[in-house]
Amino acid sequence: MTCTRGTAAMNITVLGIGMMGLPMAQRLREAGFAVTAWNRTVEKAMRLAAHGARVAHTAAQAVREADVVITMLENGDAVQAVLFGQGVAQVLKPGTLVIDMSSIKPAQARDHARRLAEHGCAHLDAPVSGGTVGAQAGTLAIMVGGEAADFARAQPVFAPLGRATHVGPHGAGQLAKLANQMIVGITIGAVSEALLLAARGGADMARVREAIRGGFAESRILEVHGQRMVERDFAKRAAMSVQLKDLRNALDTADALDFQAPITKLFAQLYADGVDHGLSEYDHSALFVELARRNGMK
């Protein structure tokens, strides 16, 4: 990627250098942006120093000169604590654009946008899908809520990270992410249960997966997670605990909208059972393990 004059002049701060924040910040550096990194555990942020990023020891210090601040944190409470509990909002320059790429509740995103506006700053909720593979490759699906003008302003920032789509006002990006996570979580369950049933009946699970690919059952979940199930490879890329958090956020949002979501409710309980049985930090495809356990299968 080459650096444009506009890119070189834009200072970006990334708050949260975890499994997703790290490769995203690396791609922004490769695109020519000046990047400042902060993480609660400073050692994680220090990994970016070799890529030419500046590392700050406090979140407030990290954002003082930022034109754009990206948050990639665990949940809405963490985002709120960093933005409003650690002095970030108070030291932002007027006109700073805060892009929250964490997965949080839509109501929290709307509240953060309102509170940042009181400080003269703009806000986009822009959660992502694609996992660490998409973050490393710059192929994330980015779902964006907020003002159209702010979305246009953020385009150079989104470009190295993936494909961004403006889906509506503040909070709409988080609604899109909840829809994504409902589909992902439920489909993982469907693929797991189907492959386990085939195996219980005596079929070769790997060949069943191969046989149904390309038909109406084809999906990215069958392709990627189905292969992980065949190989029993449940190393964490997207954690069971995070999938459960997202499904619970979807249910809370459904309740607030007086919307019935019985399928999501069922799967939230299945993921909760998996977490209770020690699968919290395994990949979310490890729902397969919980369903296998229920059936006395390995």
Catalytic positions, please? 177
If you ran DSSP here, which 8-state letter would residue 97 be given? E
**169 Cβ contact list (under 8 Å, min separation 6):** 145, 146, 147
Give dist(CA 20, CA 34) in Å, integer. Answer: 19
Rg, the chain, Cα only: 20
Instruction: HSE, CB side, 13 Å, CA atoms: give it for residue 80.
Output: 13
∠ CA 120-23-149, nearest 5°, is 30
Residue 283: what are its φ and ψ, rounded to 5°? -60, 150
CA 39 to chain centre: 17
